Structure 1
Amino acid sequence: MNVKWKLLCTGFATAVLLSACTNSGTKPSEDTNPNNSEQVSEETGSDQGSITDKDMAEGTLTDSDAQPFSMYVLPGYKLTSEEPGRDSLYSEENPSAFMRIETQIAEEGTFEYLLDNMQEVLTASSNGEEPEEVQDIFTNLDDKEIKNVKVFKVDTETGPVTGVLFEKADMVIRLTLFDTPEEEYYKDFLNMGKTIQ
């Protein structure tokens, strides 16, 4: 008798619990709204794979003053020459968040040299921390010219520093992203960086 009573109580409790979940209006599929899925994918590093050309619809094609390239710049950002062979793209609301841009003609050994140098710069920026390789950058893009993508990242006291190296047309392009601890500008920087031409 006690066993039957326990089974009945357990079944009743399960029915009440399922009913409460259903009535709350929360379905498992609704939990993966865009905000939640974006937050999860940012943590895993796969959010960068969702970058598409439509994200740059408001960008303005802007020429570099110091290097032979142009790129689309989103509102709220400014492209300026830092020194010969280097430009900076920075956030107007927070100039400490910026992306350094370096381009070189694709010649034998250029990519390898810039990759080694990029890792050295990242290690120095983090007081000796070994850079961590990041995957799934610049995937699912309409721009098929982007190839040989290498991305490394380190954490610093002021925020993450990310190095991105890739080839496009006849150029080797190196981007160094200096972001806030919350990585507020990461996706915008990558979106703009991929438009370099």
Structure 2
Amino acid sequence: MFVQSTKIRIASDLQFNNEILSETFPGARTSFAYNFPHDYQSLYWRVVMTTYANRVVATNVHPFGIDTAAPASQVESVYLMDNSYYALIWSGSDTTSGIDSYLVQYRALGESQWQTLHEVTKRTSTTFHPPDGRIYWFRTQAIDKAGLTESTSATGDMSTNQAIQVHRVILYPLIFQ
């Protein structure tokens, strides 16, 4: 079976109604490079080959996506609990592939070295017990599912100095008759 032409098709829908690319090459083609103008969360590709006997052979449709934008994240809240622990809450966003994990770090005010609290975590909250009474800064770094990593904040997102005090509250049940 000798190949007369190879056609690569890329579309944003599974039915190929909205083609992004349709390129035909003479003979058999095993590779192709294309620079997409922007990111796509969902794309589909297939290859169609035509033989000299006019027999058409097509691959199955395969999904893929393009993500060149790094994710973003930040520590949103720091709470000081009655037991001297701090509760940290953070979040992140990535418009294309989604967040895979976070790096969560802290450092004492005036120090230059960041310490790792969580290296690779999917969580968005944790507790922190400071080793001493100093002020601590926190920062997060998101990694998306495409492997892109957010740049770290040099100064941090929030500190223990910005913590909201949370007091334990005991609520008694109300009984109505």
Common fold by TM > 0.5: no
Q: Which has the higher helix share?
A: 1
TM-score w.r.t. length of structure 1: 0.21
Which of the pair has more CA radius of gyration? 2
As a proportion of its length, which structure holds more strand?
A: 2
